[in-house]
Amino acid sequence: MTNSKITVLDFKRKKEKRSKISMLTAYDYPMARLIDSAGVDAVLVGDSVGMVMLGYDSTIYVTMDEMIHHAKAVRKGVKNAFLIGDMPFMSYQASDEDAIRNAGRFVKEAGCEAVKVEGGMDVVSRVKAILFSGIPVLGHLGLTPQSVNKIGGYKVQGKDAASAAKLIDDAVELEKAGCFGVVLECIPANLAKRIQNKLSIPTIGIGAGVHCDGQVLVTHDIIGYFDKFVPKFTKRYADVGTIVSKAIEDFKTDVESGSFPDEDHSF
């Protein structure tokens, strides 16, 4: 457990020291507090909020206003972890100006310390523009859910030699552009290892094997609070959904039988 504030500088330091980086998603104040007090290095207000909190069937529909709403709540619960806002679909794709304005909103309105963008060489100009504004950028390669319609589904990426080579080139370009780290989603572990070796910035894996410099997962997945779709790479550490369902059923039964409220809960 750590008690000191994590900054962007810690990412490279941790890679140099071969000390693994932990990152989890949060979308609200209570979860942010729990993650932060466990000493997790970084909290990502992911656009996965669209699927696990807002009921959309993809992240495509998430708006900037929704992201800011959730990021503001998370900010209040995070003291030490590094807080990253996930730029939603169409908040940066159209222009460098959009990218700067919306990254700026994460920092100015929600108190985030960095933003994440999906894409490789195609987003280098956006990365540089955001960095020019003084905002650190985390890259995201491999399975990039905002491009699900182009990729043709949620599939493992970089399985053939050509697409693997392209991912390596993309990672190098993101490092050159100034990213402080790169998320690698759903790629073969050996490819992630090659990228990890090639970069001096950390790789943060999600479904990318053990060789990455850090790991990120969707918190709702690891606690069993979202079961509509459970990716193979997720490890379930708790079954909160079952506990919550049981509590709700017990409350209903107590109300219907008249055993709640009892004397202890009355004035």
Any idea which residues carry the catalytic annotation? Answer: 185
Please identify, using beta-carbon distances, which residue of 45 and 135 lies nearer to ligand KIV: 45
In terms of Cβ atoms closer than 10 Å to its own Cβ (0-12, 13-18, 19+), residue 233 is middle
CA 97/CA 103 separation, integer angstroms: 10
Binding site for ligand KIV (CB under 6 A): 25, 44, 46-48, 86, 183, 206, 216, 218
- Please tell me the distance from the alpha carbon of residue 24 to that of residue 229, in angstroms, as a whole number: 18
Return d(Cα 71, Cα 261) in angstroms, integer: 37
Residue 243, classed as helix, strand or coil, is helix
Instruction: Tell me if residue 43 falls in helix, strand or coil.
Output: strand
- Nearest residue (CB) to ligand KIV, 93 versus 260: 93
Angstrom distance (rounded) from CA 89 to CA 5 = 30
Question: Please, what is the minimum distance in Å from the beta carbon of residue 52 to ligand KIV?
Answer: 8
- 175 vs 249, which CB is nearer to ligand KIV? 175
State which residue has the least CB distance to ligand KIV: 46
Cβ at position 201, least distance to ligand KIV in Å: 16
Distance CA 103, CA 156 (A): 28
Closest separation in Å from C-beta 206 to ligand KIV = 5
